[in-house]
Amino acid sequence: MSFTIQVNGKSRTVDVDGDTPLLWVLRDVLGMTGTKFGCGMALCGACTVHVDGLATRSCVTPVDSIGTSAITTIEAIGNTPAGSKIQKAWLDHEVPQCGYCQSGQIMSAAALLAGNPQPSDSDIDEAMSGNVCRCGTYARIREAIKQAATG
Amino acid sequence: MNITDISKVGHAGRSVSNNELSRRAFLRAGVAAGGGLMLGLHLPFGSEPSPAFATETFAPNAFIRITPDGNVTLVMPYVEMGQGTYTSIPMLIAEELEVELNKVQLEHAPPDEKLYANPLLGVQATGNSNAIRGAWTPLRQAGATARTMLIEAAAKRWGVDPSACRAERGAILHPATARRLTYGELSADAARIPVPKKVGLKEPKDFKLIGTPVKRLDLPGKINGTAVFGIDVRLPGMKFAALAQSPAFGGRIRQVDDTAAKAIKGVHQIVRLDDTVAVVADHMGAAKKALAALTIDWDDGPHAKLGTGDVLAELDHATQKPGVVAQRIGDASSALAGAATRVEAAYHVPFLAHATMEPMNCTVHMRPDACEIWVGTQAIARVQRAAAKVAGLPLDKVIMHNHLIGGGFGRRLESDGVERAVQIAKHVDGPVKVVWTREEDIQHDMYRPMFFDRLSAGLDASGKPMVWSNRFAGSSVIARWLPPAFNNGLDPDTTEGAIDLVYDLPNLQVEYVRVEPPGIPTAFWRSVGPSHNVFVTESFMDELAAAAGQDQVVYRLGLLDKSPRAKTVLTLAAEKAGWGDKLPTRVGRGVALQNAFASYIALVAEVEVAKSGDVRVRRVICAVDCGIVINPDTVHAQMQSAVVFGITAALHGEITLKNGRVEQSNFDNYQMLRIDETPKIEVHIVQSAEAPGGMGEAGTSAIVPAVANAIFAATGKRLRKLPIDSRALKQPA
């Protein structure tokens, strides 16, 4: 079946089953590989994108549930004020190591900052504890979010 | 270096193919390499320009290429998997080559054991925290050699003495006449200069880059989605495959009903192997959906009844008879007989999965005459050999493209995933990307081995340990992975951290019993031998201090007269931690001291144990003497990383078997430490003039006993098996 979705401000039409997770539509059908596969069960956050500004696990989001909502991915998050600040803070604090989970981390952090410009430590815990980083960059993620909030 | 450079690394579209580069590099190396594996600090400097190069290209060795347009390309012999090697290795070369790091391009090394073997391992692999140790001298020499030749080329051009010239920021200067030629302008001339036999290296006081917190070169692409990991490869006409492997190790397929799977939109093909079914589709969504629609009847094979308890019982049993003596000092049995106090304990550690965030994956294009492979691997030459065997092709017909690695930790030192992908690709027309689901990744990992350890020690009347005896049983990964390094029942990895204690012990005996568990493959796992041994030895040392009724730090310091570096880090960690300061009830500090990967570290963990028994690590203080520091920020980052990795294992990590199957499957039942559980981690680096040590893994092994010892301090409960069992720590009502 054919679906037209709004990705990073552009209309994209794909021909897949309606229950296909958005993750695979982005990665395999549209070729946008910045969004990562980690678990397939919304347990790790690697696949996080924004759907109408809300951090959403694309691995469990069927393409037929999206309708006309605006999808933003890591490839375009730098065009948003919060995303741009987060990316800069990520570089300033040298957050990534292997880097694989960082697309998802940045998307979760950008959504947090867009909705809560001055997050507390517990706000950060709540927004970010769904994102696993096997390299253990958590301390730097916290510092970077705090910098982005003040910067 | 810019984003697109690193994004392109490993792409098929790069300007130089693997084969071409490999052949050229080999030709150039041929003159001086002398054949055989490089086991010493030997660099394959060639002296004749290779016909495969444009004659204007200056490539004095396998690591540096400078073209007339001024492009400086550094070929990375070690792979970037988060540890910062794509910054620290360029720092070593650039320090001597005198180029600016933001102007260089990086390229993954092609498979070539002769050119790119780690001198310490003798094979082309990234592991055991030895990239910097192996590269420290050779790669500075590589840079210095190129610089020396460029200076000579410039001096010749100007008709001046080379000693009147110097290199600076990618150019040679003749200060007396204010003349300057860039490396690009000199590349053609330099290519005709004979390679010098010996070159001088800078004194540490003259270092400009080494020792400074240089920003990582690989990060720009890792914050905007452009970094290309193996799983991100895209090729024209590529299909996607998901797979189901026999749930029980060694099992086989009896029957497959794929009627429903084939009917799913986007599914092209079902590939059936002896022990695996793969669904090939237009995208992973269709492949996974079809996988779930398959009905597979498995013959569970010879290990159908295997459980973790069976393996543990076998290991326990194996430690009841003598093993191979791995270390002997003095006479342990006589000393034990004469000890005033005797302490005995048994420990064990579980199987662990790697759970890299990038699930296992491999893209293969099988053609009649060649096989092309895109993957992120820690051991590209090993993988190439394995793939050639499965493909039934000669080595030079297997073209490898390496990539950034989304977590290695030892998992990507193995070739099993690539072999599986080639098996599948042999049935597929065109390129196919095989991606493991998280469940397949965890249930078909190759695991950190389970070990069982028996220890006994004898204390004298003052409480000092006079004798230490340790016998342990478990798998030797080296025996399978690098058989020549397994000799007389022993290997250097499995025993690291057990035989080389920092303490002065007059009588010591360590025995190892190799037991390969049936039905579950084992492999290297971050911090390798020490991951198991240091938990055991540093917990047991804590037991001895407790038996002697002495402070854990003071007790250890009393045994370190012959190990000043260990004494320094222990003293520093204790001081920074406020060792001895009063703590609330059920909060405790624990210490661990370690010399592994040629680095000395001491860790103090501060742990809070809730009434429920739940453990929270609040603060970790690390004191590090890793010799000369290349990049201090990387040392901090790797300690933070390794500590989180170790706490994850200590609190959550356990792979169990039931009926021959791994019971864990995803991050709900194989849990990772998350941001809200992460302690404050402080890293203090000791100034040191010793040769650089490894830092990628050390913290992982040391934090585990620090946590266990802190739990003992908080609760009085000594936990001798991992992971920490919070039920044992529950406060009685």
Q: pLDDT tens digits for B325-339?
A: 999 999 999 999 999
The pLDDT of residue B108 is above 60: yes
Cα gap B654→B651, rounded to integer Å: 9
Can you give the CATH number for the domain in which A129 is found? 1.10.150.120
The class of domain B3-222 in CATH terms is: alpha beta
Cα gap A133→A102, rounded to integer Å: 8
Say yes or no: A35 and A87 in one domain. no
Round to the nearest angstrom and report the end-to-end CA distance of chain B: 61
Q: What is the pLDDT of residue B1?
A: 36
Whether the Cβ atoms of residue B661 and residue B519 lie closer than 8 Å to each other: no
The pLDDT of residue B37 is above 60: no
pTM (predicted TM-score):
0.94
Say yes or no: A102 and A123 in one domain. yes
**How many domains are contained in chain A?**
2
**Domain range for residue A127?**
78-150
Q: Please, where are the H alpha helices in B661-697?
A: none
Q: Mean of the pLDDT values across residues B405-423?
A: 98
DSSP string, B124-174: S---TT-HHHHHHHHHHHHHHHHHHHHHHHHHHHHTS-GGG-EEETTEEEE
Percent over 70 (pLDDT), chain B: 93
Say yes or no: A56 and A8 in one domain. yes
> What is the residue whose two structure tokens read 């084939």?
B262
B438 closest CB neighbour out of A35, A38, A97: A38
Q: What is the pLDDT of residue B55?
A: 72
Whether the Cβ atoms of residue B430 and residue B239 lie closer than 8 Å to each other: yes
* CB neighbour list of residue A86: distance below 8 Å, 6 or more residues apart: A77, A106, A109, A110, A113, A144, A145, A148
In angstroms, the separation between the Cα of residue B66 and the nearest Cα of chain A is: 28
Three-class secondary structure of residue B662 per DSSP = strand
Of residues B693, B699, B696, B718, the one with CA closest to residue B708: B718
Say yes or no: A100 and A43 in one domain. no
CB of A100 within 8 Å of a chain B CB? The answer is yes
Say yes or no: A86 and A122 in one domain. yes
Cα gap B263→B270, rounded to integer Å: 11
Chosen domain end from A40, A72, A104 = A72
Q: What is the pLDDT of residue B155?
A: 98
A100 closest CB neighbour out of B406, B435, B437: B406
> What's the length of chain A?
151
> What's the length of chain B?
733
The pLDDT of residue B390 is above 70: yes
Tokens of B87: 């910054």
Cα gap B258→B256, rounded to integer Å: 6
Chosen domain end from A56, A72, A88 = A72
The pLDDT of residue B13 is above 50: no
Distance from the Cα of residue B484 to its chain's centroid: 20
* CB neighbour list of residue B494: distance below 8 Å, 6 or more residues apart: B474, B475, B476, B477, B478, B512, B514, B529
Per-residue CA distances from B253 to B250, B297, B440, B446 (Å): 10, 6, 16, 21
> What is the residue whose two structure tokens read 């901090």?
B636
CATH number of the domain at B230-301+363-435, please? 3.30.365.10
The pLDDT of residue B516 is above 60: yes
* CB neighbour list of residue B155: distance below 8 Å, 6 or more residues apart: B161, B162, B164, B165, B174
Say yes or no: A87 and A142 in one domain. yes
Pick the CATH number of B308-351+447-729 from 3.30.365.10, 3.30.70.1140, 3.30.160.250, 3.40.630.40: 3.30.365.10
CB contact under 8 A, A139 and B681: yes
The pLDDT of residue B19 is above 50: no
* Residue of chain B nearest A93, judged by CA positions: B215
Say yes or no: A32 and A83 in one domain. no
* CB neighbour list of residue B687: distance below 8 Å, 6 or more residues apart: none
In angstroms, the separation between the Cα of residue B697 and the nearest Cα of chain A is: 11
B610-632 pLDDT tens trace: 999 999 999 999 999 999 999 99
Say yes or no: A68 and A84 in one domain. no
Exposed, middle or buried by CB within 10 Å (0-12, 13-18, 19+), for A11?
Answer: exposed
Phi-psi region of B698 (alpha: psi -120 to 50; beta: other; left: phi over 0): alpha
Cα gap B121→B265, rounded to integer Å: 48
B399 residue type, one letter: I
Say yes or no: A63 and A89 in one domain. no
B545-569 pLDDT tens trace: 999 999 999 999 999 999 999 999 9
Whether the Cβ atoms of residue B92 and residue B58 lie closer than 8 Å to each other: no
Cα gap B731→B610, rounded to integer Å: 8
Chosen domain end from A18, A51, A72 = A72
A60 residue type, one letter: V
Can you give the CATH number for the domain in which A51 is found? 3.10.20.30
Paired residues of B512 in beta bridges: B324, B472
Q: Where are the domains of chain B?
A: 3-222, 230-301+363-435, 308-351+447-729
Say yes or no: A66 and A90 in one domain. no
B295-319 pLDDT tens trace: 999 999 999 999 999 999 999 999 9
Whether the Cβ atoms of residue B534 and residue B497 lie closer than 8 Å to each other: yes
Q: What is the pLDDT of residue A151?
A: 72
Say yes or no: A48 and A89 in one domain. no
Exposed, middle or buried by CB within 10 Å (0-12, 13-18, 19+), for A67?
Answer: exposed
Cα gap B154→B189, rounded to integer Å: 8
Say yes or no: A60 and A90 in one domain. no
* Residue of chain B nearest A132, judged by CA positions: B674
CB contact under 8 A, A46 and B222: no
Computed over every residue of chain B, the mean pLDDT equals 92
Within 8 A of B224 by CB-CB distance, chain A residues are 34, 74-75, 77-78, 87
The least confident of B45-49, B438-442, B545-549 is B45-49
Q: What is the pLDDT of residue B53?
A: 52
Please count the residue pairs, one from chain A and one from chain B, whose beta carbons lie less than 8 angstroms apart. 199
Q: What is the pLDDT of residue B54?
A: 58
Q: Mean of the pLDDT values across residues A28-54?
A: 98
Whether the Cβ atoms of residue B222 and residue A96 lie closer than 8 Å to each other: yes
Percent over 90 (pLDDT), chain B: 92
